[in-house]
Amino acid sequence: MSTETSASVQTGTPPATKGGRLPVAGRAEVRRSFARLLLSEKFRVLSAVGLHLVAAAAAAVAPLLLGEIIDHLAAGGGVAGVDRLAVGMAAACIAVVLFTWAGTFVAHRLGERLSAHMREQFVDRCLRLPMPVVERAGSGDLMTRSSADVPEAGNLFRDGVPQVTVSGLKVLVFLGAMLWVSPLLGMCMLVAVPPITIGTRWYLKRARHGYLREREAESEIGDTIAASADGARTTGAYRLEDRRRRAGDDTVATSWAAVRHTLFLRSVFFPFLDGSYALPTAAVLIVGGACYFEGVVSLGMVASCAVLTRQIMFPLDHILVWVERIQRGAAALARIEGVAEVEGAEDGATDERPVDGTVELRDVRYAYPNGGDVLHGVSLTVPAGERFAVVGPSGAGKSTLARLISGVDAPREGTVRIGGVDVAALPLDERRRRVNLVTQEHHVFTATLRDNLALADAGADDEELRSALAAVGADWAFDLPEGLDTRLGGTARELDAASAQQIALARIILADPDVVILDEATSMLDPRAARDTERALGAVLAGRTVIAIAHRLHTAHDADRIAVVERGIVAELGGHDELIARDGHYADLWRAWHGEPATRRGTDSG
290-332 pLDDT, tens digit each: 888 888 888 888 888 888 888 888 888 878 777 777 877 888 8
If you average pLDDT over residues 570-589, what whole number do you get? 88
CA neighbor of 216 nearest in space, from 263, 274, 259, 172: 259
Q: What is the CA radius of gyration of the chain?
A: 34
Residue 15 vs residue 566, higher pLDDT: 566
Neighbours of 598 (CB within 10 A): 16
CA neighbor of 170 nearest in space, from 287, 31, 308: 308
pLDDT of residue 595: 65
Asked if residue 421 lies in contact with residue 354, where contact means CB atoms within 8 angstroms, the answer is yes
Asked if residue 264 lies in contact with residue 213, where contact means CB atoms within 8 angstroms, the answer is no
Q: How confident is the model at residue 16 (pLDDT cuts 50, 70, 90)?
A: very low
Overall fold of domain 385-398+428-563+573-593: Rossmann fold (3.40.50)
Q: How confident is the model at residue 514 (pLDDT cuts 50, 70, 90)?
A: confident
| Model confidence pLDDT, tens digit, residues 82-110 | 788 888 888 888 988 898 889 888 888 88
Neighbours of 238 (CB within 10 A): 10
If you average pLDDT over residues 580-588, what whole number do you get? 87
If you average pLDDT over residues 166-176, what whole number do you get? 83
CA neighbor of 211 nearest in space, from 147, 152, 273: 152
Asked if residue 249 lies in contact with residue 187, where contact means CB atoms within 8 angstroms, the answer is no
| Domain layout of the chain by residue ranges | 19-344, 385-398+428-563+573-593
Residue 511 vs residue 348, higher pLDDT: 511
Instruction: Write down the pTM of the prediction.
Output: 0.58
> Distance between terminal CA atoms of the chain?
47
Least confident of 33-47, 344-358, 482-496: 344-358
CA neighbor of 400 nearest in space, from 366, 355, 360, 370: 366
- pLDDT for 19 beyond 60: no
Q: How confident is the model at residue 533 (pLDDT cuts 50, 70, 90)?
A: low
Q: How confident is the model at residue 597 (pLDDT cuts 50, 70, 90)?
A: low
pLDDT of residue 447: 86
| Model confidence pLDDT, tens digit, residues 176-188 | 888 888 888 888 8
Asked if residue 419 lies in contact with residue 352, where contact means CB atoms within 8 angstroms, the answer is no
> CA 20 to CA 5: how far, in whole Å?
15
Homologous superfamily of the 19-344 domain (CATH): ABC transporter type 1, transmembrane domain (1.20.1560.10)
| H or E segment and range at residue 388 | strand 387-391
> CA 593 to CA 505: how far, in whole Å?
25
- pLDDT for 119 beyond 80: yes
If you average pLDDT over residues 24-51, what whole number do you get? 85
| H or E segment and range at residue 169 | helix 161-181
